[in-house]
Amino acid sequence: MDVSTPESSPSSAASAPDSPAPVAPRRAIRELPDELISQIAAGEVVERPASVVRELVDNALDAGASQIQVKLMAGGVRAIVVEDDGLGIPAEELPLALKRHATSKIRSLDELESVATMGFRGEALAAISSVAEMSVASRFAGAAHAHRLDARSGELVPAARSRGTSVEVRELFFSTPARRKFLKTDATELAHCLESVRRHALARPDVGFTVWHEGKLVEQWRAGSSEARLADVLGDEFMAESRPVYAENGPLRIYGRAGLPEAARSRADMQYVYVNGRYVRDKLIAHGIRSAYEDVLHGHRQPCYVLFIEIAPDRVDVNVHPTKIEVRFRDGREVHQRVRYAVQDALATSRSAEVASTAAGDAEPPTVRTAPGSTPAWFQPAQHAASQQAAEASPPLYAGTPSWRSNKQATLGLAEVATLYGQTAPAFSYSTAIHANANANANANANAAAEPARPDPAPAAPGAEGLAVRSGTPLPEHDWPLGRAIAQIQGVYVLAENAQGLVIVDMHAAHERVVYERLKANLGAAAIESQPLLIPVTFAATAQEIATAEAHAEALQRLGLDVAPLSAKMLAVRARPAALAGGDVVELARGVLAELAQFDASHAIERAQHEILATMACHGAVRANRQLSLDEMNALLRDMERTERADQCNHGRPTWRQLSMRELDALFLRGR
């Protein structure tokens, strides 16, 4: 009997390590069929029904439509109809409109490099028609009647409709059933379609939008003012809990609204960024906005915002993604820095200033001085006029603190700042005429309660010129936004009375923010002190890190870092910021180089410094169970009114809350 040994069996031979891998038969190189080419292109452009809605609405806006109607069946899977009242398409151009890379929006490379329309690729209709049944009916301005073109058969017939265009898409992915299996439920696809229309509606308040599903009206946004459109789309609550953002510098203009930190959400589902009217998802811009919220958000909460960026078309490339949802800036660091400081300035003013304005019944703030109609009515950047004018001085790109935020250039380390602050403002010794204290006798406290003293305004700490809310003369007592202190509860909360009702202040959190902002102002007014290392620290570096260190040596020096190439694959750190002497110098250098290559170079250093300052402020702030006199409470309230971002502590927790008389009456059922 012939018995095969394991060594001689075919399966063993195939699994031997030295056996050559099987070679697949060679296939000849051939051109793909046109239909397959279109289906491959459709895979990049059409992901789900919402992608079709986005492309068709883009075309309607480019056609100058003032009213756009979207009709859906089964969440857009069975049918999508987009109708507009735009210019329309001439009958002789309808067949050409369905061909790949056929468009009326660009003619040359120069026009491609300065795109000013929503669409420009000429792929949308061709891609959609390759994966669905589609027909286009359009009546050009001045034409006797409309014409309808069937994308599948190519038949062109007369039709009845007013001026404009209707695109009907049925049975999406009918020719590629495998892709249809990846679609979600009708409700989910409908939600994505609504979000797509919502993004367009936010950017174009001059256009009316209507969305129907299964014959029922689900959304309608009428053409009107920007303020009304924002309230309609995002709700009145967002308008009430957000601040206007405005900054303009050369070819860059930033405006919109930034939600208050206390209005942050658990999900990032209310964040809208537009570049020249186009909704985008850009990591650089998102990083800049998140940086502005860095020390006012609690935990991992997500801010709400709507931000519009207007920039010269030749300074941004919109042709980097098939769905046109990503862009690339010629000078990304400048955009990052401008966005960051624009949002920071919007969040700087405390809500106490708004309380004072409401109490005083202030008139409408003046509108920004720009060309008529160029700025939406709901932006009122008057409160940021000073910072805007200063920003026109073009701060240095990589400076940790822009030149318009400080006017001192002394060399000062964090330790010296702490010492200086301790000399001028110890733990809870305000620079005011405070003579009463927690150990004062009951008669003194009673007298103070009957006739509370008015502490003089605390002078700014050295280097605190950058604080925005500074009044030259003390306000009358009845105009104090946070009111006058009346009591302290359990050594934790301060109660105050103002024109609106009752103010409750978290004593430690509020003082922590005051101390923190003073320390930041002192540090911001100083250059970063550098400390040479006795023995340079070397580390293996990538080619990009070495190139970044060579190209931005001057910026690194301004940040207190001396990083130089030691070899083709090695960097040496010869000096580091004196304030960060206890940290990991290699990790610091890598972090700064990474941010310098992608974002603002100063951000890594600034974040590390602020973490140290926050710790110092926490230890220097008044502790719970500390009994304060009325004078000390009032001094704290006045400091809060003068301090930026005083509504949150360094960890993002609220520092004070307002209870109006109406809310207090409701608690006790008064008037019912």
**Helix/strand/coil percent split, the chain, to 5:** 40, 20, 40
pLDDT for 221? 95
Q: How far is CA 90 from CA 136, 263, 558, in A?
A: 12, 49, 61
Residues with Cβ within 8 Å of 159's Cβ and at least 6 positions away in sequence, in order, are 137, 139, 145, 146, 147, 148
The answer to whether residues 197 and 57 touch, using CB atoms and an 8 Å cutoff, is: yes
In the block, residue with structure tokens 């008064």: 670
Identify the pLDDT of residue 34: 75
Q: How far is residue 353's CA from residue 468's CA, in Å, rounded to a whole number?
A: 12
Closest to 599 (Cα-Cα) out of 249, 283, 281:
283
Whole-number CA gyration radius for the chain: 32
- For residues 94, 100, 106, 110, the Cα torsion angle rounded to the nearest 10 degrees is -160
Q: Give the three-class secondary structure for 249.
A: strand
Phi, psi of 131 (to 5 degrees): -125, 10
Task: Tell me if residue 642 falls in helix, strand or coil.
Answer: helix
Joined together, the tokens standing for residue 661 give: 């008389």
Query: How high is the pLDDT of residue 330?
Result: 86
Q: State how far the Cα of 46 lies from the Cα of 56, in Å rounded to an integer.
A: 11
Mean pLDDT by 10 residues, the chain (672 residues): 48 53 76 76 78 92 93 94 92 87 75 73 80 91 90 89 93 78 89 95 95 95 91 92 90 92 88 92 90 84 93 84 81 88 87 61 39 37 37 33 32 40 35 30 37 37 31 55 89 90 91 84 67 92 91 80 90 84 80 74 65 67 82 90 86 87 90 76
Whether pTM exceeds 0.75? no
Residue at token pair 């050594």: 491
Other CB atoms within 10 Å distance of the CB of residue 497: 15
Distances (CA, A) of 657 to 71, 81, 143, 261, 522: 46, 49, 63, 14, 29
Coil, helix or strand for 436? Answer: coil
Give the C-alpha distances (Å, rounded to integers) separating 254 from 174, 247, 338, 375, 381.
43, 5, 8, 11, 11
Instruction: Kindly provide the b/e burial profile for residues 401-413, where b requires at least 16 CB atoms within 10 angstroms of the residue's own CB.
Output: bbebbbeeeeebb
| Cα of 526 vs its chain's centroid, Å | 29
Q: What CA–CA distance (Å, rounded) separates 337 from 600?
A: 6
Distance CA 112, CA 551 (A): 30
Res 545: pLDDT: 92
pLDDT of res. 525: 57
Q: What is the pLDDT of residue 474?
A: 52
Burial class (CB in 10 A: 0-12, 13-18, 19+), 289: buried
Residues in CB range of 319: below 8 A, 6 or more apart: 112, 115, 120, 121
Element (H, E) at 336: helix 332-348
Please give the Cα distance from 537 to 554 (Å, whole number).
Answer: 19
pLDDT the model gives residue 52: 92
Burial 351-385 (b: 16+ CB within 10 A, else e): bbeebbeebeeeeeeeebeeeeeebbebbbbbbbe
Q: What is 502-540 written as a DSSP string? A: EEEEEHHHHHHHHHHHHHHHHHHTEEPPEEEEEEEEEEE
Closest by CA to 155, choosing from 135, 129, 130, is: 135
